Structures are given as structure tokens and as C-alpha cells.
Chains A and B, each alone.
Chain A
């Protein structure tokens, strides 16, 4: 077994290297002197300076973050409730309902975008953050719904029934028993939804309206005139931020575990 695990580690190493090489190249070229990513002509921080001075880009980043958080919160609520509801009904149309609920994932984004735009015009809704939020929620809900549904299927129904038996109302039973049990699924679904929302270009372009821009739209619409290493700098910063958050989270978990272990030792 020893020989196998060395070989498999090596294999995994190669795969990771190939996967992350492009990311490494992006980071390296964010420090490039030249505007074109053809040769590394010299070390320079000017793209970071340009990025920090680019208020339109920063504003777009802010909009994307706000939109991501808002849409993942809203779709978490809708998705969780939907999944719980779907798990309780036993109608004949149940499978049709399940199919419809994940339909937004199957429709091509550009069609969804155009349809949403036409729909908002029909209802005369002013375009802006509201329409962006609605549009993003549409395609974020299925992610959470699927995750929570899967988690609910694996959950023991007798737990909730026991709570009901002991006198809890249906809301209390959901809130205090079911929800904590499905919380990991809700959180992971929300993170996925947040990533999808941050990433979205096509739907955002159609429903954003003239005044608001999200980050991916701003970057994508630069393609015609040429993308500068300012984007590389942005990517590097976002990567650093994400890794930082993960590092802090892991540290917190590790510290918590240590505290618990000390606690249980003390109790003994």
C-alpha cells in the first residue's frame, strides 16, 4: 500500500499543478510591466494602483458583493422552504413540481436573461438592483433547493415527529429541530449560489439597467477594447481575500476544537 499512496500523491500533485497553473500565471502577470500578457517585461505594481484608483471597477465589485449576499440570502429562504414543502407533500403532481423547480438551471442563460428582461418591461419594473436581485434569485434558488432536498431525504423524520409529539407547534418543530439539522446543506447551497451569482454575466447584462454594473459585466464588456492586467490584479486580490477567509475559518475551527478538548479534559 505504501508504494500506491506515493504514486497516487504524485498523480494528485500533477493534477493540481495543471489545474492551478493558469491561476498562478494570472497572478504572476498581475505584476507585469507590459500591458500585454505576452512576455514578462518587468516587475511593477502599477496595475494594482490603477485598480485601486478605478472607482467604477470598485463600485462594480461592491455591487456584485451586495447582490451576491442578498440573492443568496433570499434564495436560501425560498429554497429551504420549497425543499421542506416538497418533502411533505405527496401529490400526484409532485414530480412535475420538482422538475419545474430546477428548470432555471436547465434553460440556457441567454434565453432566461431575455425572457426576464421582457417580463420586467411588461410589468414596468424599474431596472436596477431590484431586477438584478430578482434575476439572480431565479437561478440561485434551484441550487439550494436541490441540496436541502437531498439532505432532507437522508434525515430521520421521526425526530421532527417526536418534537410534534412532545407538543411543539409545526413552526417550532421546523425552527428548532429540522432547520439546525439541514443547516449544513443550506449553508453549502448558499455558498454555491453566491459563487454562481458573483460569476453571472449573461443574465446580469440583460436585467441590469443603465445605471448599475456588476463586476463580471464590467470585465466582460472590456473584451472588445482589450483587457488590461488590472483584471489580473483584481483576480489576485480576490484570491487572496478568499484564501484569507478560509484561513481565518480554519483557524477558528481549530481553536474551537482545542477549547472543547480542553473542556472535556477538565470535566474528567
Chain B
């Protein structure tokens, strides 16, 4: 290789290294940290136009990754984070979340009280809810002979090899708990073992277990019953409105996504501006319609797709909470055995 080629290559390498973006001027920037596609583009563009602040949209794939990165950064690097409820409990306990100054959030009263005062933030000091999910049973009435009213019906022998489940071990263990009359957050290990045995009886009815796009199995006919997350229910109904949605009579489990500001956020003022922007009813309605989760903003309820407002009859819901390590271990064992039995 000629010397000139070598020099050219070295120059190319150093140009690449120089392409390292120098850390940008951070007072006109908002660093947002959540899953991708959590906001419609119009909402993000609208914020940028209104305030002139550039949004840097950073992503994580799971709550656990978010927690790792946030704790490594000691609560810095990010201005606004949206994550699931259970991990926020850990974040608050580790001191990584900022106590919100509610005077800066004019839209705070818009929040639906049904979603406040939860285990991860009992005094509503740290979070603003951004959408709630209630996993529900959805089925195709043409392919199913029985009428499904609750979780117990899933065990019906006529549903052999026809159920699609989401892959969340706490939720599936949880609905078995509810069906047995126990709490979703049962902590007694012996009792959880019984739940595991009951769960194994469901195995012959399960066609597939899949966490993302579970609704597709229902839509393409592979499964006739699905137990789906809220966004999947919305997607399924959009495609095939004749599907029946069941609010199981034994009770519901729900999860809330929370928005919080990390304790060492580089730009807290901007974070408050963004949070307040999201609390405005029109913006909240746009977001809710886009992500297909339940609306947590009471003022936005009239503007949203009616399927995304929880009916008033639904008050009996239990949120999936963190449990003790021994309970976790037994739930995990149940899940592993259940998955093995399903194959």
C-alpha cells in the first residue's frame, strides 16, 4: 500500500473521530428519555416551535436499562424520563427523582385522580402520569363458542390451543391470583406455589406467548382469544372492530407510566416547561390517541378516542407492585415452568 494511501486512511479516521459531536449548548435543549414513538411528531414539533427549545430524544428498551443508566449518571444527563410505575419506585427510593415544584405545572389539576396516590408515588410528589394500561381479554366472537366474562373462562377446555398471551410474568401470575380470589400482589410463597399449579393447567389452551404485537396473532386468525396490553387492544380494535373486549369480573390489573425529572437533570426549567406542555388537554389528547393507552388527563377525556377513557364502572383495579425477593423468585419459577409446559 502506498504511503499516500496510508495518509489518506489516517486522515479519514481522524475525520471520523472528529465527527464526535462536541457537547451542544445545553440551555436550549431538552433531553427526553423514554421508548421510541411515545409522542406523535406534531407534539414534539409543536413544543419546539412554541418554545424554541430543541428536543434530544434518547431511548431505552427496558425499564431496567433506564434505571441502570440513570443510576450510573447519578440522576444526571436526562431532563425528562417516562417509564413504568414499578421502576419509578426504585428510582425514587434511590433518590434519583426530583420533587416536583407544582407551582410550575399549571396543568397539574388536569390529572385524573384515579391514577394518583399510587404505591410508587403516594403523595404525588415526583411524577405526572402519562398514560395507563389495563391488560384486557379480547376475543373473536365468531371463533369462540363460549361467552368470556372473566379470567376463569380462559381455562375452559373449548379454548384449547387458541389463546395468545403477553409475556409478562407478573401480569400472568397476577390474573391467576385474581382468578383464585387472591391479590395481584400476593406475597406468601406457599400461596404463590398454588398459583403456579393453577397456571400450569392453562398451558394446553395457550397457543403463543409474545410480548410485542400480540394482537397480530388475534388478527390473522392464529389465536381466537388474546390477553393484550392496552395499546395492543387499541390496535386490534382499529383493525377489526367486531372483536369483543372483556373487563374481567374478577378485577383488573393496571400499570401507569410516569413522567419524572431526574434529580441532577441538566436543565430542570425546560423539563418543567415540557411537562406542563404535555399536561395541556389538547396535547395530552394527541399523545393518548397516538400511543393507544388510557388517558390519565381528565381534562383531555372529552377529546380522546372514547375507547381510551376507562369506563366509570371500572373502579376495582389493582396495580402491579413490587413484591419481596422470595415472592419474585417463586413468581419467576411459576413462569418458567408455565412456559416450558406451553411448548
Residues of A whose CB lies within 8 Å of any CB of B are 34-39, 56, 66, 69-70, 73-74, 114, 117-118, 121, 126-130, 133, 175, 179, 201, 205-206, 209-213, 217-218, 220-227
Q: Known: A39-B220, A69-B16. Contact between A226 and B37, CB under 8 A?
A: yes
Query: Given the complex, which residues of A lie within 8 Å of B20, measured CB to CB?
Result: 128-130
Say whether B1 contacts A38, CB under 8 Å: no
B114 contacts which chain A residues (CB < 8 A)?
A: none
The reply on B17 being an interface residue by CB < 8 A is yes
Shortest CB–CB separation between residue A163 and chain B, in angstroms?
Answer: 16
Among residues of B, the one whose C-beta sits closest to the C-beta of A54 is B41
**Residues in B lying within 8 Å of A, measured CB to CB:** 1, 9, 12-13, 16-17, 19-21, 23-24, 31, 33, 35-38, 56-61, 65, 68-69, 72-73, 77-78, 212-213, 215-216, 219-220, 231, 235, 239, 291
Question: Which A residues lie within 8 Å of B33 (CB)?
Answer: 210
Asked whether A128 lies within 8 Å of B31 as measured between CB atoms, the reply is no
Given known contacts A38-B239, A114-B68, A223-B212, A210 and B58 CB-to-CB distance under 8 angstroms: yes
- B24 / chain A contacts, CB cutoff of 8 Å: 211
By Cβ-Cβ distance, the 3 closest A-B pairs, closest first, are A221-B59, A225-B37, A38-B219
Q: A225 near B58 (CB under 8 angstroms)?
A: no
Task: State the CA gap A201–B36 with chains docked (Å).
Answer: 14
In the complex, besides A218-B59, A226-B212, A226-B213, 16 extra interface pairs with C-beta distance below 8 angstroms are A34-B239, A36-B215, A36-B219, A37-B216, A66-B16, A117-B68, A128-B20, A128-B23, A129-B19, A210-B31, A211-B21, A211-B23, A211-B31, A212-B21, A220-B61, A221-B60
Contact assessment for B216 and A223 in the assembled complex, using a CB-CB cutoff below 8 Å: no
The A/B interface has a contact count, at CB < 8 Å, of 103
Q: Of A117, A126, A127, A225, which one neighbours B35 at CB under 8 angstroms?
A: A225
The answer for the CA separation of A226 and B239 in the assembled complex, in Å, is 14
The distance from the CB of A202 to the nearest CB of chain B, in whole angstroms, is 9
Chain B residues with CB under 8 A of A209:
77
Set A36, A39, A201: member contacting B235, Cβ < 8 A? A36
Complex contact B77–A210 (CB within 8 A): yes
Q: Which residues of B contact A218 (CB under 8 A)?
A: 36, 59
Give Cα A262–Cα B104 distance, bound, in whole angstroms: 80
| B231, A226: Cβ atoms closer than 8 Å | yes
Contact yes or no, A205 B65, CB < 8 A = yes
Q: How distant is B258 from chain A, measured CB to nearest CB, in Å? A: 15
B60 touches A205 (CB 8 A): yes
Among B13, B36, B57, B78, which residue has the most Cβ atoms of chain A within 10 A? B36
